Structure 1
């Protein structure tokens, strides 16, 4: 109970951070429409697992090194930008579906992606996101008191990882509903390109 106020502040800040549109949302949306619920849920799990990585380096003090080393942080930004740009280009290169195919046949022709690939995609998207890095660096250096026990800080991290996984899993389920997914699939050719443009725009925004 001594850390309840601190936890509530973290929970509110995390909610607004995770709910704001960004690379995580764009990737989960893309996976939900193209690959379906199972794949999207694994992508969401990857996003949630990446939160533990951010928490780990903050608890270990690596966040202080990143704050004091602009070159290291800039390297992370360029790496994140390159990864998002790669995802964007892949979306732009998606093949145009045949005009005579109905939705069921077109859906079956989408090659199934291994769940490990989905998990890895979600993990890397969040892990390489400088916005997430800045958020957790700020959280652990400005909001969480240095006197807060490590076990309590880790529990904060576990909560944020689970909350992130739950949020994107909920989005995945909603986006995979037949009517929602069908709407995007009917305009899938243009949807892929819109997502590609968004990811490339996010990559540019991350870098500059």
Structure 2
């Protein structure tokens, strides 16, 4: 069980570190809004992980992976959502930041915690690649005979690792010195993240089981 615990932890960390929609979304919300919004986006992603784990434990992941219809529905909804987020970033006027008249410091318009959480949640939940990843995890590493207690331990471990990684990324990106550099190219970052999200959405639409 200890070997499984360590293996799952490493796999989750490596999968989180790979550039993808979650990475792009956390980066966008942190830089263009605030550290707090990045944290709530990270919590949304972590909560979606718990949903993936739940339906894997219930055996629904196998049904989804074997059903062309269900897989396609999730795939195209997820692709459309990413493309929607990307287009919004591309079309947004560069008014997310303004200069305060008294201090001369950059102030950013607020995104609500609910919106940040919701974006992170659906970005991860509607990614069929995540479904296939957890299906493989629960097939190859977490065996069917694994007790419910250990499955709960693994679920908590995966939630903590994913959420902690993206929170650490948020803290790094929102560090004062980093932000000072990023603020100079903020409008380009917004457009770049928009392109990435659209690209991930298009790529997701062509994913095969």
TM-score, normalised with respect to structure 2:
0.91
Q: Residue deviations 1:49-80, cap 9 Å, x none?
A: 11100000000110111122122111111011
Counterpart-to-counterpart distance in 1, 2:37 and 2:175? 14
Runs (4 or more) in structure 1 with deviation over 6 Å come to: none
Name 2:53's counterpart in structure 1.
55
Q: Please provide the CA RMSD for this pair.
A: 2.0
CA offset at residue 102 of structure 1?
Answer: 7.9
Name 2:30's counterpart in structure 1.
32
Q: Provide the secondary structure at the position in 2 that maps to 1:124.
A: helix
Unpaired runs of 5+ in structure 2? none
Q: Provide the secondary structure at the position in 1 that maps to 2:54.
A: helix
Name 2:106's counterpart in structure 1.
107
Name 1:165's counterpart in structure 2.
163
TM-score, normalised with respect to structure 1:
0.92
The answer to whether the Cα contact below 8 Å between 1:97 and 1:189 also exists between their aligned partners in 2 is no
Equivalent in 79, 82, 98 of residue 81 of structure 1: 79
Q: Provide the secondary structure at the position in 1 that maps to 2:121.
A: helix
CA offset at residue 156 of structure 1?
Answer: 0.5
Counterpart-to-counterpart distance in 1, 2:141 and 2:26? 29
Q: Residue deviations 1:115-171, cap 9 Å, x none?
A: 111111111111111221111011012221111012211220111011111100001
Counterpart-to-counterpart distance in 2, 1:77 and 1:97? 32
Name 2:18's counterpart in structure 1.
20
